[in-house]
Amino acid sequence: MTDLLKEIQEGFANLDQSGRMLPIKAMPQAWPAWVFREGDIFGVAVECSEPFEVSEGFAGARLRTVERVVAGQNRHFLRLESSIEWLRNEFGLICEHMVSVESGTAVRQMLLADPLAWWQRWRHLLGNVLVDKHGYDVLAELLALETLVIKGDPIEWSGPFGGVVDIKTPATDYEIKSTISRYGTMINISGQFQLAASSGKPLQLVHFRFEPVDDGLSIDLICDRLVALGVDPAMLEAALQRLGMEAGCSARKEAYNLLEARSYAVDDSFPRITPASFIGGALPAGVVQFEYRADLSGLKSQQF
């Protein structure tokens, strides 16, 4: 075990939860790094000479930029952090790789010049543990919000906060689905309640079709447009954080063209499974959850 790794792992074990940052003694003075613990989050940090925003996460680890006061000065740091205590020694190996300059100081310069490139290499190495988070699912919900706000409907974006449906208005509930397939008509439905229209209001399913592009619609762009329309920016940020997409997340910058958006009335003619599909309105004994696919082809729809 290297002195650097040992110091990082001991820092994880011994620091209290007060938010202390300790300089790592095994690092050269010209290329410092810190080990820290804030509440249940622990990790390592290096200082950024210029402020920028990064926020990426997978499998219990997160790479993010933060601003902290050190010795009375506001300073910007790039941090690799986790909260999984029982894997903290294994996590320390990745932390060592991030902060080490043993192979040359150019690695630190490359890290700060393009932290996402460093992150992607680890992401691919641990690939089958990771789940890619695509921006178009959230982009679809934001575009639906924008359409409803422009119509003058009071809206509640309930999906990120555990709502049965994605968006609520006084007159109608909305479930939002999306795809980047040019011709696919299948949608995935989670469980018996997603299309159950339990509020007593009509339920509409809106299906967005996108194509990835270099320059187009993005989450950050539509959020700016929503704020300009009077939507509460704090609500938007709170919802995006609940979805794991805090400011700086690369998924918020993914760009798409909107090919079409179609709205379907979820009524007796819509292919769906609800509690009413089962005897007594309950799942068969021993079945606790299920998912299914529905085909939108041939269903009556209108442009949303």
49-102 residue pLDDT tens:
888 888 888 767 889 999 887 777 888 999 999 888 878 888 888 899 899 988
The answer to whether 159 and 176 have CB atoms below 8 angstroms apart is: yes
218-251 pLDDT per residue, tens: 999 999 999 999 999 999 988 888 787 878 788 8
196-208 pLDDT per residue, tens: 766 678 899 999 9
270-292 pLDDT per residue, tens: 887 777 777 777 777 777 677 77
Q: From the CB of residue 110, how many other CB atoms can be counted at a distance below 10 Å? A: 13
Q: From the CB of residue 76, how many other CB atoms can be counted at a distance below 10 Å? A: 16
39-51 pLDDT per residue, tens: 889 999 999 988 8
The whole-angstrom separation of Cα 88 and Cα 167 is 39
The whole-angstrom separation of Cα 30 and Cα 48 is 14
The answer to whether 126 and 56 have CB atoms below 8 angstroms apart is: no
The whole-angstrom separation of Cα 1 and Cα 13 is 16
Mean pLDDT of 125-145: 73
Q: From the CB of residue 157, how many other CB atoms can be counted at a distance below 10 Å? A: 21
The whole-angstrom separation of Cα 56 and Cα 130 is 12
The whole-angstrom separation of Cα 8 and Cα 26 is 9
Q: What are phi and psi of 266, to 5 degrees?
A: -90, 95
Residue 186's beta-bridge partner residues? 295
Confidence of residue 105 (pLDDT cuts 50, 70, 90): confident
Dig out the tokens for 253 from the structure. 């910058």
**Minimum mean pLDDT among 49-53, 96-100, 105-109, 133-137: which range?**
133-137
Domain boundaries, the chain: 3-129, 135-303
* Alpha-carbon distance values, 178 to 66, 115, 246 (Å): 32, 30, 21
Question: What pLDDT sits at residue 197?
Answer: 64
DSSP at 283: P
- The model carries a pTM of 0.64
Dig out the tokens for 20 from the structure. 């202390």
